[in-house]
Structure 1
Amino acid sequence: MNFNDALKVLPQYALPQHTLSKLMSYITHSENTALKNWCINTVIRHYGVNMAEALEENPEAFKSFNHFFTRKLKPEARPLTTEKNAVACPADGSVSQAGNITDGKIFQAKGMSFSAIDLLGGDAERAKPFENGVFATIYLSPKDYHRLHMPLAGTLKEMVQIPGKLFSVNTATTRSVPGLFARNERVAAIFDTEAGPMALVLVGAIFVSSIETVWHGVVTPPTAPSVQSWYYDHKPITLKKGDEMGRFNMGSTIIVLFGKDKVQWVSGFKADQLVRLGEMVGRLK
């Protein structure tokens, strides 16, 4: 940890992370006109949000900041790849890391990694299909579109809510907090696809007031006291490639996992690369 990163990160260990997220939830869901308009316009100016892409372009038309933050885009704003055997990018953002799962480990940053078992809630059987597979970690900044979509068509098998911390997931924290993505609160969705099992892991962060999915609604909050699982064999839920599967009600990170010899990332899909929803980021082997 370098000195500048330490100054940014060490105070997070002492912060009441979940309390601050509850406060942020209250603010972002407020329908007070003056408050929500100030928040929305401040974020648009500070981060350079492109409202021309939004289905609703008028910032003051949103009933709350969260309504703005999870805004829909115009259908033509994010075309879905039509390449044969393509894996589509699940989100707007930047690649934190992408590569191979080696000896059960997922690379986080220089000198740090975390296990697929820990990421998926401590269940070795749940993680087994991803042994020696591939992963991609995509960070969503405040300016990005915050709905998450399917990289491939899939049938939902299991959803897992995993309690944890709420550290920031920015670059400084990623370089500094060991096992960050396997420590933060998260929701994992396991799908059967033409590439075999696919895991989409939605990682919470400080000020992320909630994570939700299209089939369940809001999953967190509340924070679960322990790992909770839902199984869907009795009620199949199938989503097409490009379909919305969930959203962050504030920004965070999505991690995608595939099994061994199933998917190959395209060249250029690597750390620090900016990516857009729907573009081709990999292909089936």
Structure 2
Amino acid sequence: MKKMKTTASPTVHRCMGKDGTIRVEDSGQDRFLQKLYTSFYGRVLLKVLTQPGFSKAAGAFLDRRASRFLIRPFIEKNHMDMRPYVKRPYRSFNDFFTREILPTERMIDCDPIHLVSPCDGKISIYPLDETAEFAVKGSVYTLERILKNPSLAKRYEGGYACVFRLCVDDYHRYSYPADGEKSENIRISGILHTVNPIAVESVPVYHENTREYCLLKTERFGTLIQMEVGAMMVGRICNYHGPRYVKKGSEKGRFEFGGSTILLLVQKGQATFREKFLKNTAQGIETQVEMGEWIGTAK
């Protein structure tokens, strides 16, 4: 695997919000992760924290009624607006974390030539080179290693990889970006690094984390690959459907607690993407998007 040089110095992460303003992310969590991923003792601790058993044990607690006391502090710490969500009592913290949004809050772009975002999150769009590789921060990723399928990876040479990073305060249900015939779900077991950019700069997260993907054969966008990537504290990727015909915007599944990532792979010549996403990615800026928002157009 190719690897770029990385540095232990703090990194500034920038995200463009829906209002067009650029926010600089530098939280206490970022500073903690910087030490965790760049110091000797931090890397020793990571050997424990990234094991699926750790996330499984944490998830078991978050499924219990006893975890409900965490909900209010979590809402307050993350300054979350709960008005867009269905109002109901929560059985556990995970029940709160996978809460449903009101149908009026995520209007799906129904134009058949528009490809839409499958989730809420921060989008970056990377061109795939002639060997189906793309660079994210300090790491170079190959689709062959991500998919564990060399012949499938080859079909996406010269295309695009859309990376949607979900933070803990994002809506953690996700949908289909277009109408199409969905394949079976293909699971690749691994460990569970955080998907915070600090980790992505230090280790090949998308090569190592547990992930699950399907092929989506569409009329206007060729065959898309939609992959859900688990993260630290997110041992469960819950996809609802096996092979079937699906509609754009219909719910595909959900992540349980933690930040997560969705990769959307698009074949060469099948779509053009909104210029602001490409420009921001080239400048190292993520862009906030919502589920159902138009991100690209069929060629």
**Residue in structure 2 matched with residue 63 of structure 1 by the alignment:** 91
Q: Percent identity?
A: 26
- Asked whether 1:98 is paired with 2:131, we answer no
Question: Structure 1 segments of 4 or more deviating over 4 A?
Answer: none
What is the CA deviation profile of residues 187-241 of structure 1, one whole-angstrom value per residue up to 9, with x for unaligned ones?
011111121111111001111130011115xxxxxxxxxxxxxxx4xxxx01100
- Asked whether 1:89 is paired with 2:117, we answer yes
Tell me, yes or no, if the aligned pair for 1:6 and 1:176 is still in contact at 8 Å.
no
- TM, length-normalised to structure 2: 0.81
**Residue in structure 1 matched with residue 139 of structure 2 by the alignment:** 112
1:161 match: secondary structure: strand
Q: What is the total number of aligned residue pairs between the two structures?
A: 256
2:83 match: secondary structure: helix
Task: Pick one of 208, 211, 220 that aligns with 1:186.
Answer: 211
What is the CA deviation profile of residues 254-277 of structure 1, one whole-angstrom value per residue up to 9, with x for unaligned ones?
000010100111111234111111
Please give the residue correspondences for 1:92-171 in structure 2 after superposition, counting only pairs within 5 Å: 92-95=120-123, 97-102=124-129, 103-109=131-137, 111-120=138-147, 122-171=148-197
- Asked whether 1:248 is paired with 2:276, we answer no
Q: Distance in 1 between matches of 2:194 and 2:170?
A: 16
**Residue in structure 2 matched with residue 224 of structure 1 by the alignment:** none
Bigger shift: residues 187-196 or 4-13:
4-13
Q: Which runs of 5+ in 1 are unaligned?
A: 217-231
Q: Distance in 1 between matches of 2:109 and 2:266?
A: 19
Tell me, yes or no, if the aligned pair for 2:114 and 2:297 is still in contact at 8 Å.
yes
**Residue in structure 1 matched with residue 60 of structure 2 by the alignment:** 26
Instruction: Give the superposition deviation at 1:132.
Output: 1.1
2:191 match: secondary structure: coil
- Asked whether 1:15 is paired with 2:22, we answer no
Q: Which runs of 5+ in 2 are unaligned?
A: 1-6, 11-32
Q: Distance in 2 between matches of 1:73 and 1:101?
A: 34
Q: Distance in 1 between matches of 2:212 and 2:72?
A: 30
**Residue in structure 1 matched with residue 104 of structure 2 by the alignment:** 76
- TM, length-normalised to structure 1: 0.85
Distance 1:45 1:260, change over 3 A: same
**Residue in structure 1 matched with residue 287 of structure 2 by the alignment:** 273
Tell me, yes or no, if the aligned pair for 1:81 and 1:279 is still in contact at 8 Å.
yes
Bigger shift: residues 265-274 or 162-171:
265-274
Instruction: Give the superposition deviation at 1:6.
Output: 4.8
Tell me, yes or no, if the aligned pair for 1:49 and 1:144 is still in contact at 8 Å.
no
Task: Pick one of 260, 265, 279 that aligns with 2:268.
Answer: 260
Instruction: Give the superposition deviation at 1:29.
Output: 0.4
Q: Distance in 2 between matches of 1:212 and 1:192?
A: 21
For residue 179 of structure 2, what is the amino acid of its counterpart? A
Tell me, yes or no, if the aligned pair for 2:139 and 2:200 is still in contact at 8 Å.
no
Instruction: Give the superposition deviation at 1:15.
Output: 2.1
**Residue in structure 1 matched with residue 85 of structure 2 by the alignment:** 54
For residue 161 of structure 2, what is the amino acid of its counterpart? F
Tell me, yes or no, if the aligned pair for 2:273 and 2:296 is still in contact at 8 Å.
yes
Bigger shift: residues 274-283 or 17-26:
17-26
What is the CA deviation profile of residues 7-60 of structure 1, one whole-angstrom value per residue up to 9, with x for unaligned ones?
13142532242222012111210123xx31x2111211111222100012x5xx
For residue 254 of structure 2, what is the amino acid of its counterpart? R
Q: What root-mean-square deviation, in Å, do the aligned CA atoms of Structure 1 and Structure 2 show?
A: 1.6
Tell me, yes or no, if the aligned pair for 2:192 and 2:235 is still in contact at 8 Å.
no
Q: Distance in 2 between matches of 1:3 and 1:249?
A: 32
For residue 212 of structure 2, what is the amino acid of its counterpart? V
What is the CA deviation profile of residues 93-141 of structure 1, one whole-angstrom value per residue up to 9, with x for unaligned ones?
112x3121112102211x4211011111x21122232121111101111
